[in-house]
Amino acid sequence: MKIYVNNKEQEVTEHIRVSDLAAVLQLPAQGIALAVNNRMIPRTEWENTELLPEANIVIIKAACGG
């Protein structure tokens, strides 16, 4: 199935959860926020949130400084 991660098309298996996508993308355990279709998904919900075809995922990495 096709999804978009930070505006880049990506093919993933059907019925993939946000937690599975994080593992595939090797995202760090801390310091990131993730939104699906403009809705922030708390890390506590990643395991229970299934992605649908054409989902638009935005990954934001925290940065030190200002």
Q: What are phi and psi of 44, to 5 degrees?
A: -65, -15
Distance (Å, whole) CA 28 – CA 26: 6
CATH numbers and ranges of domains, the chain: 2-61 (3.10.20.30)
Look up the pTM and report it.
0.88
Structure confidence at residue 64 (pLDDT): 77
pLDDT reading at 48 higher than 80: yes
Tell me, what's the pLDDT at 57? 98
Q: Does residue 66 have a pLDDT over 90? A: no
| CA dihedral for 49, 50, 55, 61, sign (positive or negative) | positive
Q: Average pLDDT of 19-24?
A: 96
Is pLDDT of 8 > 90? yes
Q: How far is CA 19 from CA 1, 16, 34, in A?
A: 16, 8, 11
